Amino acid sequence: MHGVIPILAETPSKQDVHIASLVVQLRPESRGSIERQIKSMPHCTCYSDKAGVEDERDSVLVVVMEVSQQGDINRVIADLNQLVDVLNVNLVYHYCDSAQSMTDELEVAQ
C-alpha cells in the first residue's frame, strides 16, 4: 500500500525555506524568562529537556526556526546573544530547500 505525505503547506514557489536549530546556553536562574522571550520571537520554537529536576539541563535550550532568508537566521542568533544571561548560541543544523520542493508530495511505501 502506498500513501502520499504532504511536506509543507503551500508557499510561494520563488522563496526558499531555511530550517535551522540552535543550542542556547544560559544562566539557569534566568531560564523561564529567556524561554518566554524566545517563544515570543516569530518563526522560533523553543524545546527543553526539563523534567522538573534541577541539573545541567537547566542551562540549555534548543531553538528550531523556519524562515525564508538565511540572513534571518543570523539576525535571530544576534538577538539571542543580546538577551541578558544568555551565555552562548550555537548553530547546530541548517537546511535549505526551495519552497516549491517542500510542497511536493512524497510517496511512502507502507
Burial class (CB in 10 A: 0-12, 13-18, 19+), 21: middle
- Per-residue pLDDT of 53-84, as tens digits, reads 566 667 999 999 999 999 999 999 999 999 99
The answer on pLDDT for 52 being more than 90 is no
> Does the global pTM surpass 0.75?
no
- Per-residue pLDDT of 27-42, as tens digits, reads 999 999 999 999 999 9
Q: Residue 98 contacts by C-beta under 8 Å, 6 or more apart in sequence? A: 13, 15, 16, 17
The whole-number average pLDDT for the span 11-24 is 81
